[in-house]
């Protein structure tokens, strides 16, 4: 009984001594670490100060090594010092207007070539107005655009005119009087006459576009070239034509007199264009020009016995001025 009690007491004392020894050893080790300067706890971190501080991308001092291997690594390290001009990123690329230049397009995006078709009416002005009446016209052309502002158009125009009533009445009296005594196809004096005049021309026309938007435009045009003026004097006549059903008679105008005159001429005016959308290539246009031709005047004459030099309509060779108004398409 006493022996068992003693053994149990000895075991309790041994265990107590072991725990005491281990606790003492831990305490001594802790004091030794503290005395050696090794702290187990970290100082508090101020996140507000850390986040607001400027970012330093330079190499920290603690990455430098004293060994030879460390020196090489330090020398080969990338320098992120942004204060150096050599380490700055390349400058931002500057963009200019796109260059569209090819066989059909100018560098500014405009088409190199243009085509013109149109029609309208003519207004005689000045002394021409006293002889000719307003009539119709047609126009066609092809041009070369050097940029959005300047181009040149080679153009054909056919400008038609009527001859006014007072001029025709004067001519009728001349034809029926001496020394002409003109007659119709039945041998009777002329009862009435008609007539028309026209100018057809080939001109070269520089064009200056002084205003351009997505859909609207305005331009100034000038030009010069060759003008051919013709006057036809006619009288009503009955003509006969053979058909499958036999001869058929119909009334037509028969030319009884004709005059021509060639001259150098100039023109100039204003025009306006309109596109249905900014992406359309076809433009509607309306323009008005002033045209002046330098015809050489001829005198009134009944000609010689053979009819040479006959000229009872000298107005055809007079200098001519008119205003054509044209509507059309440019594409």
* Cis bond upstream, residue 179 (ω within 30): yes
**What is the spatial distance between Cα 318 and Cα 197, in angstroms, rounded to a whole number?**
13
Q: Indicate the domain borders of the chain.
A: 113-330
Whole-number pLDDT of residue 81: 56
**What is the spatial distance between Cα 64 and Cα 77, in angstroms, rounded to a whole number?**
10
Whole-number pLDDT of residue 261: 97
Whole-number pLDDT of residue 239: 72
pTM, whole model, 2 decimals? 0.68
Residue 54 has φ and ψ, to the nearest 5°, of: -65, 145
Whole-number pLDDT of residue 76: 53
Three-class DSSP category at 194: strand
Whole-number pLDDT of residue 41: 52
Confirm or reject CATH 2.40.50.140 for domain 113-330, answering yes or no. Answer: no
Which residue is listed with tokens 């034509």? 241
Task: Name residues whose C-beta falls within 8 Å of residue 328's C-beta, 6 or more positions apart in sequence.
Answer: 116, 117, 118, 119, 120, 139, 284, 285
Q: How far apart are the first and last CA of the chain?
A: 130
Please give the structure tokens belonging to residue 104: 């059909």
Whole-number pLDDT of residue 84: 55
The CA dihedral of 307, 311, 313, 317, to the nearest 10 degrees, is 140
Predicted confidence pLDDT, tens digits, the chain (331 residues): 555 555 565 666 666 655 555 555 555 554 555 555 444 455 555 555 555 555 555 555 555 445 444 555 555 555 555 555 556 666 665 555 555 556 788 888 888 999 999 999 999 999 999 999 999 999 999 999 999 999 999 999 999 999 999 999 999 999 999 999 998 888 899 999 999 999 999 999 999 999 999 899 999 999 999 999 999 999 998 776 777 776 776 677 889 999 999 999 999 999 999 999 888 889 999 999 999 999 999 999 999 888 889 999 999 999 999 999 999 999 8
**What is the spatial distance between Cα 146 and Cα 208, in angstroms, rounded to a whole number?**
11
**What is the spatial distance between Cα 265 and Cα 246, in angstroms, rounded to a whole number?**
49
**What is the spatial distance between Cα 143 and Cα 235, in angstroms, rounded to a whole number?**
41
Whole-number pLDDT of residue 305: 80
Whole-number pLDDT of residue 307: 80
């Amino acid at each position: 009984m006493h022996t068992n009690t003693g053994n149990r007491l000895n075991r309790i004392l041994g265990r107590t001594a072991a725990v005491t020894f281990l606790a003492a050893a831990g305490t001594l080790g802790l004091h030794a670490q503290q005395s050696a300067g090794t702290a187990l706890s970290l100082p508090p971190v101020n996140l507000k100060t850390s986040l607001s501080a400027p970012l330093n991308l330079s190499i920290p001092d603690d990455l430098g090594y004293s060994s030879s291997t460390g020196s090489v690594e330090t020398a080969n390290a990338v320098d992120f010092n942004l204060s150096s001009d050599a380490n700055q990123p390349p400058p931002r690329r500057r963009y200019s207007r796109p260059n569209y230049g090819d066989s059909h397009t100018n560098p500014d995006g405009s088409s190199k070539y243009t085509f013109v078709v149109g029609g309208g009416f003519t207004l005689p002005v000045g002394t021409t107005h006293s002889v000719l009446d307003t009539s119709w016209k047609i126009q066609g052309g092809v041009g070369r655009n050097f940029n959005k502002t300047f181009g040149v158009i080679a153009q054909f125009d056919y400008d038609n005119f009527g001859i006014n009533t007072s001029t025709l009445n004067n001519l009728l009296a001349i034809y029926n009087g001496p020394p002409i005594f003109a007659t119709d196809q039945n041998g009777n004096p002329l009862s009435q006459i008609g007539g028309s005049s026209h100018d057809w021309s080939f001109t070269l026309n520089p064009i200056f576009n002084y205003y351009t938007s997505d859909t609207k435009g305005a331009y100034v045009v000038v030009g010069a070239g060759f003008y051919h003026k013709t006057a036809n004097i006619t009288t009503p006549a009955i003509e006969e034509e053979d058909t499958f059903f036999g001869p058929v008679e119909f009334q037509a105008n028969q030319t009884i007199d004709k005059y021509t005159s060639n001259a150098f001429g100039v023109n100039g005016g204003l025009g306006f264009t309109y596109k249905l959308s900014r992406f359309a290539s076809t433009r509607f246009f309306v323009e008005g020009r002033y045209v002046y031709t330098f015809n050489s005047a001829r005198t009134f004459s009944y000609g010689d016995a053979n009819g040479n030099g006959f000229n009872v309509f000298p107005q055809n060779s007079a200098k001519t001025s008119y205003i054509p108004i044209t509507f059309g398409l440019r594409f």
